[in-house]
């Protein structure tokens, strides 16, 4: 055994060796126990970490739901807890103090309750890292510092742009809070990573690995118009996903004489689903467009479609487009966010400006009219998806990044500070672990101090950069001043040369004036002028 490998090697930290040698333990916090896109992606990540990398995964979920049983089948430990959201689907919390206060009260009680049994369970499990999945809940950012562990935020959306939710914090405050609370930020695309990196985060893109079951599939029985071009949109029916835009585009194409059938597959949000249905009825499309709700397995429906249409106004990643690519289906997609990164307009799909109904309709019409184009785009999309969305780039990359965080210090974002007194009071009233909350309060103060230090350091860097810029300007001015005497000397020399040349010209002129030819020319000038005048008069009289 070499000295470097020996347990008693000098300078080695035995605790670091113990951490490295035992399996990584990660606790995830899910915003939902359902099986929508974000939850499915979490399930896939947990499954890959367990199966491929031996990671011990624990997942906190808010109550019962299908996600729980799937996680347990994958080998994860599942804990239930009250995990209220810090956002609302329709209320602008920044403009409604009463609604904001209600959200704050829910957060206070939930934070106190988490100091009870959930905290005791997590302490027994001793995770190395805590991960919050999506922006909808902040609970990993609360549990991690109380446990004394680093935190990672997995950002799956553009704040309120594509989620349609309004957060307790404003957009910039929300991003700042995420950066303050997280040792790393995982994002769904490179644009998001750049946004958070600009705000100071250690941001990393995790492209999801998605698998579709091998076909052939049993008929879905959902399409009802023989001979029609079959279209499908797979997403939660909400404003951000743009089903209203897709229906309007289809209405325009039906008016042009195209035979189309559109299925809107996915859970619905009220009252937006009613608005979509009203558009369907307004254009007389009830026999062509249907909201079919949640479907347990969407892949047969997608496989039967001639084209998959994405209507999103904003889309950070887009699970359905990737599934369509893997199925070899032609895609119409908005040129925004994730789809704009991993799809190539005209090569693996047809893109259009998000929100532009006419451009969306034109793209659908192109696919409807050209089966060869649909086939070519679908085949190219499948090849790209199989090369891009791999296990190595999802679970493999996540495992490596999470392992690097073992032993990293905890961080508590200052956004918890106003709630901490009420959280501690609630915890004491319930006989919970208020000591953990008090430690969190100290962490919050330390984090605030670190943030102030970072701000001062940034100001110092700015001042230094300004000073260096001014020094560079001064050096340039000095160089210019140093060059000035030489320039003056050169101008003087040029002036002397011009004066000498003028003197030579005057001498030549004087010599000409003194010559016989010059005197003869002067003597003849007057007679010649008289002759010219006479000739002109004669010509005038003759005319």
Query: 286-301: buried (b, 16+ CB within 10 Å) or exposed (e) per residue?
Result: eebbbbeeebeebbbb
Domain, as residue range, for 20: 14-209+393-410
Instruction: Judge if 36 and 104 occupy the same domain.
Output: yes
In this prediction the pTM is: 0.75
pLDDT at 390: 94
Residue 6 reports pLDDT greater than 50: no
Q: Does residue 167 share a domain with residue 91? A: yes
pLDDT at residue 173, rounded to an integer: 86
Check whether residue 188 and residue 129 sit in a common domain.
yes
Q: Does the residue 63 lie in any domain?
A: yes
Residue 476 lies in a domain: no
Bigger pLDDT: 489 vs 121: 121
Q: Is residue 55 part of a domain?
A: yes
CA distances to 79, 254, 318, 492 from 376, in Å: 46, 25, 22, 75
Segments in 287-393 forming alpha helices (H) = 299-304, 319-326, 337-342, 357-369, 371-388
Residue 483 lies in a domain: no
Greater model confidence, 535 or 17:
535
Both 63 and 18 in one domain: the answer is: yes
**Are the C-beta atoms of 126 and 56 separated by less than 8 Å?**
no
pLDDT in tens, 188-199: 999 999 999 988
Strand 166-167 to strand 151-155: parallel, antiparallel, or no bridges (unpaired)?
Answer: unpaired
Lowest-confidence pick of 125-134, 256-265, 333-342, 427-436 = 427-436
- Higher-pLDDT residue of 141, 2: 141
Asked if the structure places residue 160 within a domain, the reply is yes
Q: Let me know whether 382 and 405 are in one domain.
A: no
Helices 171-181 and 140-147: crossing angle in degrees, nearest 10, is 30
144 plus 53 within the same structural domain: yes
| CA end-to-end distance (rounded Å), the chain | 128
Give the CATH number, domain containing residue 256: 3.40.50.2000
pLDDT tens profile 161-188: 666 678 888 788 888 889 999 999 999 9
Q: How far is it between the farthest Cα atoms of the chain?
A: 133
Residue 71 reports pLDDT greater than 50: yes
Least confident stretch, 1-15, 373-387, 489-503, 505-519: 1-15
Which residue, 359, 379, 410, sits at the end of a domain? 410
Question: Mapped to the 3 state alphabet, what secondary structure does 351-372 carry?
Answer: EECCCCHHHHHHHHHHHHHCHH
Residue 521 is predicted with a pLDDT of 66
What sign has the CA pseudo-torsion 403, 406, 409, 412? positive
Which residue among 376, 410, 444 closes a domain? 410
Q: What is the DSSP letter of 238?
A: S
Q: Considering the domain boundaries, does residue 475 fall inside one?
A: no
What's the half-sphere exposure (Cβ side, CA atoms, 13 Å) at 112?
Answer: 19
Helix (H) or strand (E) holding 56: strand 56-61
Count how many domains the chain has. 2
Contact 199, 179 (CB under 8 A): yes
446 vs 503, higher pLDDT:
503
Same domain, yes or no, for 92 and 186?
yes
pLDDT value at position 91?
Answer: 66
Averaged pLDDT of the chain = 86
pLDDT of residue 538: 75
Do 326 and 343 lie in a common domain? yes
Q: Is the domain of 44 the same as that of 114?
A: yes
pLDDT at 247: 98
DSSP per-residue letters across 80-129? E-----SEESS--TTT-HHHHHHHHHHHHHHHHHHTTHHHHHHHHH--SE
Residues 332, 200 share a domain: no
Return left, alpha or beta for 72; rule: phi > 0 is left, psi -120 to 50 is alpha, else beta: alpha
Q: Do residues 274 and 348 both lie within one domain? A: yes
Distance CA 247, CA 274 (A): 13
pLDDT of residue 428: 78
* Residue 351 falls inside a structural domain: yes
The string of pLDDT tens digits covering residues 16-60 is: 455 556 899 999 999 999 988 899 999 999 999 999 999 999 999
Domain boundary among 388, 421, 436: 388
What are the Cα distances from residue 324, in Å, to 44, 283, 380, 389, 407?
18, 28, 12, 13, 41
d(CA 115, CA 416): 15
pLDDT value at residue 11: 44
What value does the mean pLDDT take over residues 275-296?
Answer: 95
Which residues are paired to 263 by β-bridges? 232, 290
In this predicted structure, the answer to whether residue 325 has a pLDDT above a threshold of 50 is yes
pLDDT at position 511, please? 76
Confidence of residue 534 (pLDDT cuts 50, 70, 90): confident
Q: What is the pLDDT of residue 442?
A: 55
Distance CA 537, CA 521 (A): 24
Same domain, 23 and 130: yes
* Structural domain contains residue 425: no
Identify which has the larger pLDDT, 13 or 410.
410
């Amino acid at each position: 055994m070499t000295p470097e490998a020996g347990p008693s090697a000098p300078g080695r930290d035995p605790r670091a060796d113990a951490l490295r040698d035992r399996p990584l333990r990660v606790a995830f916090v899910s915003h939902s126990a359902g099986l929508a896109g974000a939850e499915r992606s979490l399930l896939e990540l947990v499954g890959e970490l367990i199966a491929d990398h031996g990671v011990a995964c624990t997942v906190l979920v808010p109550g019962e739901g299908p996600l729980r049983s799937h996680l347990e089948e994958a080998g994860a430990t599942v804990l239930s807890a009250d995990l209220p959201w810090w956002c609302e689907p329709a209320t602008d919390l920044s403009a409604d103090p009463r609604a904001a206060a209600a959200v704050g009260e829910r957060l206070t009680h939930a934070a106190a309750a988490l100091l009870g049994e959930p905290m005791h369970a997590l302490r027994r499990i001793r995770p190395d890292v805590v991960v919050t999945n999506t922006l909808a809940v902040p609970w990993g950012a609360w549990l991690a510092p109380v446990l004394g562990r680093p935190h990672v935020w997995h950002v799956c959306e553009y704040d309120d742009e594509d989620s349609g939710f309004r957060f307790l914090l404003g957009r910039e405050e929300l991003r700042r809070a995420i950066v303050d609370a997280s040792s790393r930020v995982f994002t769904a695309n490179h644009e998001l990573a750049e946004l958070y990196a600009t705000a100071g985060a250690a941001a990393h893109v995790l492209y999801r690995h998605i698998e579709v079951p091998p076909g052939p599939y049993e008929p879905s029985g959902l399409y009802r118009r023989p001979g029609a071009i079959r279209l499908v949109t797979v997403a939660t029916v909400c404003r951000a996903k743009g089903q209203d835009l897709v229906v309007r585009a289809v209405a325009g194409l039906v008016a042009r004489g195209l035979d189309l059938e559109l299925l809107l597959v996915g859970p619905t949000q009220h009252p937006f689903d009613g608005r979509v249905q009203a558009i369907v009825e307004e254009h007389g499309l009830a026999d062509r467009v249907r909201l079919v709700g949640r479907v347990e397995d969407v892949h047969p429906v997608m496989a039967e479609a001639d084209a998959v249409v994405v209507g999103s106004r904003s889309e950070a990643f887009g699970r359905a487009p990737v599934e369509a690519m893997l199925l070899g289906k032609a895609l119409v997609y908005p040129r925004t966010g994730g789809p704009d990164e991993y799809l190539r307009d005209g090569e693996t799909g047809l893109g259009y400006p998000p929100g532009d109904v006419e451009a969306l309709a034109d793209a659908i019409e192109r696919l409807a009219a050209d089966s060869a184009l649909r086939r070519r785009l679908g085949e190219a999309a499948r090849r790209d998806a199989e090369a891009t969305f791999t296990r190595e780039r999802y679970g493999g990359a996540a495992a490596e990044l999470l392992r690097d965080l073992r032993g990293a210090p905890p961080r508590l974002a200052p956004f918890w500070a106003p709630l901490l007194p009420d959280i501690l009071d609630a915890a004491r009233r319930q006989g919970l672990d208020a000591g953990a909350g008090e430690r969190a309060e100290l962490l919050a103060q330390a984090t605030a101090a670190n943030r102030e230090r970072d701000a001062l350091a940034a100001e110092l860097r700015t001042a230094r950069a300004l000073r260096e810029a001014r020094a560079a300007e001064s050096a340039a001015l000095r160089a210019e001043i140093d060059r000035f005497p030489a320039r003056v000397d050169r101008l003087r020399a040029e002036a002397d040369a011009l004066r000498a040349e003028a003197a030579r010209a005057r001498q030549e002129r004087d010599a000409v004036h003194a010559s016989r030819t010059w005197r003869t020319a002067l003597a003849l000038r007057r007679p010649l002028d008289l002759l010219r005048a006479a000739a002109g008069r004669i010509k005038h009289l003759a005319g």
